[in-house]
Amino acid sequence: MFQSFDTTADPSHGPVRLERLRRAMAMKGLDGFIIPRADAHQGEYVAACDARLRWLTGFTGSAGFCIALKDHAAIFVDGRYRTQVRAQADMEAFTPVHWPETLPGPWLKDTLAGKAAKVGFDPWLHTKSEIETIEKALDGTRVALVPTDNLVDRIWDDRPPAPNGKIIDQPIEFAGMTSADKRSELADGLLSAGQKSCVMTLSDSIAWMLNIRGDDLPCIPVVQGFAILGDDGSVAFFTTEGRAVEAQLDKDVSLHPVKDFASHLKTLDGPVRVDKATAPLAVSQILDKAGIAVDWGGDPAILPKAQKNPTELKGAREAHLRDAAAVVEFLAWYDTEDKTSLTEIDLVKTLEEKRRASNALLDISFETIAGAGPNGAIMHYRVTDETNRPLAPGDLVVLDSGGQYRDGTTDITRTLRVGDVGEEEKRCYTRVLQGMIALSRVYFPKGRTGRDLDPIARYPLFAAHQDFNHGTGHGVGANLSVHEGPQRFNAISDVELLPGMILSNEPGYYREGAFGIRLENLIVVEKATCPTGGDAERDMLSFETLTFVPVDRHLVIPEMLSGEERAWLNDYHATCVEKLTPWLDDAALRWLKSTCAPI
């Protein structure tokens, strides 16, 4: 089984470890130290050896950081994790801070007001943009940021070793473009900018560029390392020594021990392109010290990786039908079970079994969220043997899951019911559904961003004075990260939405201590066909839906739906039956047809 249910951190360790960290700070002459969730590659998942925030605090969320001072320690978490952090960290040792509403620079300025202080940080774990932002907020104070070695690593006696998995191919029949062609296009961009090389540090960008995959991290098939792309299309890839290499790397791609990366940087000709938003600050520090010119510029692979080519889109459609069949098989099973005899873990295990039955599942794309009743209000809830909750009559269950396949990455959320639920829950569910439908149906002109479209999915909730504390959607990779940038639906995303970009469409509603609701389909940006009655005055974009799994009609209040919303839902359900018929056995197909009857 890919998912485990072990408790991965213990809040009781926090105070002891925090005290050891403070002793290490004192030995270095520091008044504070910043502990990020991130590793040197700034990805969503970190290897066990890089889970410093979890080790210190007990908090297991995918984003956040801690600032430890001599007499105070704060954990900064966003809206997804504000309930979770209180359950996982010792609240006497660590104080939760709402982030990004409160940023680290202003917090340090206020907390250390009038004091002279040195706050340490590991320059391999923070980007230049991040440190510059903090330093700007500290202008005019006597608080200084000090780069240093990692103090958590000093006190982490049983720290696991770095991952050392094998390197495998992502074949052309799934990638749709050779690595040589990708590297040639990226190198052309360097030549046009007058740059000799580019330092690449994002694991998924490197995997996409080299058409390789790996198993260094849970849920995302990447090989961790650093790459230097030359203006001739050559790549020097620095990674853990001793790996088995099954990928057919061409002659212009060379492998090197990661320990040689820093020294190799000193030999480069400038100017060297570095992404100040993703590369460790240490990279530019090394180049600056060696007198090598740095050109600040974005990771060149991020945008082409986000715009899936026709082969990748074909694979995504196939992967989503395969995955939808597994989810429908699960839902058909769930519908016949005595639900109050089940637990959250039972749901996770059975759903993974259904996906595994396809014989195509490589991994889950993230740890399945199965939150029943009040656990559903914890947006990124992770069930463990200790928290496992039996399903109870009247519960709503948020079930958010996905799979990694050679041809695509999936992510789907459905909200299940346990028997009859209240009218208030149904009203909230219907509003969430209306938001998902609204974003699915929208037409928009070229040049629009995720920020422009995010409110569309929220409006039905806004009208009821409700909202949710997460973005409406994130980008999704092609057998890569299930949370991929740069495109997103949220209040701050200024990235233009372009054809080929895959995103999630996942509005929700969460009532702490009571219930949660979320619905999620994946959609892809496409050029829109002018509808009947339109005048084709402007080129428009729209979304193709990739996910075909029915929603629970018993949770929908039909009278709340407009005629257009009802027509969309009935058409969506009819399409689910049409597309999944070849994939299902007779029993599951009978269940699907019954479930998809028109409203």
Q: Write out pLDDT tens, residues 251-263.
A: 999 999 999 999 9
% of the chain exceeding 90 in pLDDT: 94
Residues 6+ apart with CB under 8 A from 26: none
Distance CA 212, CA 177 (A): 12
Summarize the chain as % helix, strand, coil (round to 5): 40, 20, 40
User: Are 73 and 99 in the same domain?
Assistant: yes
CA distance 91 to 93: 5
Residues 137 and 269 in one domain: no
Question: Is 572 part of a structural domain of the chain?
Answer: yes
pLDDT digits (tens, 9 = 90+) for 311-339: 999 999 999 999 999 999 999 999 999 99
Whether 44 has a pLDDT exceeding 90, the answer reads no
Instruction: Read off the pTM.
Output: 0.94
Q: Which pLDDT band, with edges at 50, 70 and 90, does 12 fall under?
A: confident
Token digits for 43? Answer: 């990805």
Q: Are residues 322 and 294 in the same domain?
A: no
Give the containing element (helix H, strand E) for 351. helix 344-356
Average pLDDT for 218-226:
97
Element (H, E) at 419: none
Boundaries of domain holding 175: 168-305
Question: How far apart (Å, rounded) are the C-alpha atoms in residues 203 and 224?
Answer: 5
Report whether the peptide linkage leading into residue 486 is cis, meaning its omega lies within 30 degrees of zero: yes
In a domain, 4, yes or no: no
Phi first, then psi: give them for residue 124, nearest 5 degrees: -85, -10
pLDDT tens digits along 446-474: 999 999 999 999 999 999 999 999 999 99
Does residue 58 lie within any of the structural domains? Answer: yes
Question: Does residue 3 lie within any of the structural domains?
Answer: no
Place 511 in a pLDDT band, splitting at 50, 70 and 90: very high
**What CATH number does the domain containing 181 carry?**
3.40.350.10
* Cβ atoms within 10 Å, residue 535: 6
64 and 35 in a common domain: yes
Instruction: State residue 535's pLDDT score.
Output: 75
Same domain, 82 and 192: no
Mean pLDDT, all residues of the chain: 97
- Beta strands across the sheet bearing 65-69: 95-98, 73-77, 65-69, 32-36, 116-121, 142-147
444, 555: one domain: yes
> b or e along 91-101 (b: 16 or more beta carbons within 10 Å of the residue's beta carbon)?
eebbebbebee
User: Does 160 fall in a domain?
Assistant: no
- Split into its structural domains, the chain has a count of 3
Q: Are residues 312 and 299 part of one domain?
A: no
- In this structure, are 136 and 276 located in the same domain? no
121, 200: one domain? no
pLDDT given for residue 530 in this prediction? 81
Residue 534 has pLDDT above 80, yes or no: no
- The CATH code of the domain that includes 570 is 3.90.230.10
Residue 75 reports pLDDT greater than 90: yes
Q: Is residue 97 part of a domain?
A: yes
Using a 10 angstrom Cβ sphere, with 0-12 exposed, 13-18 middle and 19 or more buried, the burial of residue 318 is middle
CA–CA gap between residue 38 and residue 54 (Å, rounded) = 11
pLDDT at site 539: 87
Same domain (yes/no): 30, 123: yes
Q: Which of 305, 326, 344 is the last residue of a domain?
A: 305
Question: In the listed set 120, 155, 190, which residue is the last one of a domain according to the structure?
Answer: 155
Q: What is the pLDDT of residues 372-397, one digit of tens each?
A: 999 999 998 999 999 999 999 999 99
Q: Are residues 18 and 70 in the same domain?
A: yes
Out of 88, 120, 155, a domain closes at 155
Question: Is the predicted pLDDT of residue 9 greater than 80, yes or no?
Answer: no
Residue 328, token pair as written in the block: 């429908």
Confirm whether 198 is domain-assigned.
yes
What number of other Cβ atoms are within 10 A of residue 455's Cβ?
A: 15
Q: Report d(CA 426, CA 558) in Å as an integer.
A: 10
Assigned domain for 32 exists: yes
d(CA 202, CA 302): 9
DSSP 158: T
Phi and psi of 131, rounded to 5°?
-70, -40
Radius of gyration from C-alpha coordinates of the chain: 24
Asked if residues 548 and 575 have their Cβ atoms less than 8 Å apart, the reply is yes
Do 195 and 251 lie in one domain? The reply is yes
